[in-house]
Amino acid sequence: MELRLQKLIASTGLASRRKAEMLIASGRVTINGKVVTELGTKVDPGRDHVKVDGKHLTSAQPFVYLVLNKPKNVMSTLDDPGGRDTVKDFLRGVSVRVFPVGRLDFDSEGLMLLTNHGDLAQALLHPRYHVPKTYLIKVKGVLTDSEIAQLQRGVKLEDGMTGPAVVKKVKRAEANSWLEVTIREGRKHQVKRMLESVGHMVIKLIRIRMGPLALGNLEPGEFRFLSDYEANALRELVEQRVASVERGEEAMPGPKRLVRREGWARPVKAKKYVGKKARRV
């Protein structure tokens, strides 16, 4: 099957599609020994020999990326000496060894990225690159606008000030409320500690977005492989962040949105994990 050269290069995980286009345009890619600079040249990976900087593309490792909706009361590691359920228990049919990118607390739920692409995982986790993560949380009580503004500015925790957060009101009831909180750091129990610092206990925490990835309709315990588009967006995000840090630019923008004073938006329904645990792989 023929496909566009830049797509083939990006699909091996070597570079994002945009970077692959730059590699081609700058004459670093050959097909069957000939330099090709025309974007969109079609290749057949089963027949053509593609090299980037003199190295065979076929020798590149195929990368696998998937998103799991981690259920509550599951470890976000691959093993647990205590015998508790881990994310590995939910990866039925995945024959490649993939590793979780970051952690969620045992009692937290939601989006976990797993991959065998070590460099990408490391870059996504690196505090310097500030990849945004959004959490849908249920808290005790209802936050005032001034408490929300404190979170937006950054709050003092025992391990230092937090960076600016984006906080969106979602839904409120008498005794509790739902918020969406986006942060660009990944300290231990960070969201719970931030909310505690303004006097509210987190009752439920679901990660719904990480960089360009969204949890979408995945039920707790379900996973899906990333689309080419999503994998490419992840690689591009990492490339952009690395480049902007190399240029000495501040990679962490401040919050764009100020506190919305006019009421609370419609509820976002959180899904319950009702299914049975999947078989161990």
130 is a contact residue toward ligand URA (CB under 6 A): no
State which residue, 153 or 189, has the beta carbon closest to ligand URA.
189
Cβ 223 to ligand URA shortest distance, Å: 18
Cβ 187 to ligand URA shortest distance, Å: 8
State which residue, 28 or 103, has the beta carbon closest to ligand URA.
103
Catalytic site residue 145?
Answer: no
Cβ 158 to ligand URA shortest distance, Å: 14
State which residue, 242 or 252, has the beta carbon closest to ligand URA.
252
- Contact segment (CB under 6 A) with ligand URA among 10-18, 113-121, 187-195, 245-253 equals 187-195
Cβ 21 to ligand URA shortest distance, Å: 36
- Contact segment (CB under 6 A) with ligand URA among 10-18, 22-30, 54-62, 101-109 equals 101-109
Cβ 60 to ligand URA shortest distance, Å: 33
One-letter amino acid at 131 equals V
205 is a contact residue toward ligand URA (CB under 6 A): yes
**Burial of 99 per CB tally in 10 Å (0-12, 13-18, 19+):** middle
**Burial of 82 per CB tally in 10 Å (0-12, 13-18, 19+):** exposed
Q: How far is CA 201 from CA 7, 162, 237, 241, in A?
A: 46, 18, 33, 33
The catalytic position among 44, 79, 80, 105 is 105
Cβ 85 to ligand URA shortest distance, Å: 16
**105, 185, 196, 222: residue in contact with ligand URA (rule CB under 6 A):** 105
196 is a contact residue toward ligand URA (CB under 6 A): no
Number of residues that bind ligand URA (CB under 6 A): 9
Which letter, b or e, does each residue of 36-55 get, where b requires 16 or more Cβ atoms within 10 Å of its Cβ? eeeeebebeeeebebbbeee
Strands (E), the chain: 3-4, 29-31, 34-35, 42-43, 50-52, 55-56, 65-70, 99-100, 109-115, 133-140, 156-157, 160-161, 166-172, 176-183, 202-210, 213-214, 223-225
Reduce the DSSP state of residue 231 to 3 states and report it: helix
In whole angstroms, give the CA distance from residue 176 to residue 279: 36
For residue 7, give both structure tokens: 């797509």
Relative to beta strand 109-115, strand 202-210 is parallel
State which residue, 10 or 137, has the beta carbon closest to ligand URA.
137
In whole angstroms, give the CA distance from residue 245 to residue 128: 8
Measured over the CA atoms of residue 140, residue 108, residue 278 and residue 269, the dihedral's sign is: positive
104 is a contact residue toward ligand URA (CB under 6 A): yes
State which residue, 88 or 192, has the beta carbon closest to ligand URA.
192
State which residue, 84 or 280, has the beta carbon closest to ligand URA.
84
Residues contributing to the site for ligand URA (CB under 6 A): 104-105, 108, 135, 189-192, 205
Task: Give the catalytic positions in this structure.
Answer: 105
